[in-house]
Amino acid sequence: MCVWVWLQGRSDQLALHHHVHQGEPEAPPPVTTVTRRFNQDMTVPEGRVIPKGNICLVSIYGTHHNPELWPNPEVYDPSRFDPDNSANRPSLAFIPFSAGPRNCIGQNFAMAEMRVVVALTIRRFRVTPGKAEVRRLNQLILRAEGGLWLQLEPIGAP
């Protein structure tokens, strides 16, 4: 589960908020895999050569749940993205929008939109998880079966 933190009037809150929503390799990415065609021969660590023209399936979900990259990958920990904690992590260990020249062109808009929606929501409401158990639908685009329900209570309500 994701816990959002907002400290009204604090200049450092956006950095913390950025870590909070970014610090979710344990949460499933919207798209679980991407494919890439090799434009040159590629030698993998075992010494095998993958010939030019072959297609590679990159598991974003698998990368985000790799315990060699993410200790305790199923545990929510926004501090994973603190500079001290991520200095030795490969730059492609977290790729929710893919990477390289064919990454999601809407990623900056999506992140900005999420910051605004979350900020406005938690300024006005106390947000708690719904009562129903969340069941993941494992499809091309991951989502929760029946939706992801939250309870919103207006702040300042009697």
DSSP 75: S
Q: How much is the mean pLDDT over the chain? A: 79
Please state, in angstroms and rounded to a whole number, the distance separating the CA atoms of residues 99 and 34: 10
For 13-17, 80-84, 102-106, 111-115, which range has the lowest pLDDT when averaged over its residues?
A: 13-17
Mean pLDDT of 78-84: 84
For the stretch 52-63, pLDDT in tens is: 999 988 888 888
Can you give the C-alpha Rg of the chain in angstroms? 19
Task: Flag whether pLDDT at 34 surpasses 90.
Answer: no
Instruction: Tell me whether residue 2 is annotated as binding.
Output: no
For the stretch 119-144, pLDDT in tens is: 899 899 998 888 888 887 777 777 78
Please state, in angstroms and rounded to a whole number, the distance separating the CA atoms of residues 36 and 12: 38
Query: How much of the chain, in percent, has pLDDT values that exceed 70?
Result: 81
Task: Flag whether pLDDT at 9 surpasses 70.
Answer: no
For 147, other C-beta atoms within 10 Å of its C-beta total 10
Bigger pLDDT: 11 vs 151: 151
| Secondary structure element (H or E) that encloses residue 64, with its range | helix 60-64
DSSP 133: P
Structure tokens at 22: 């970014």
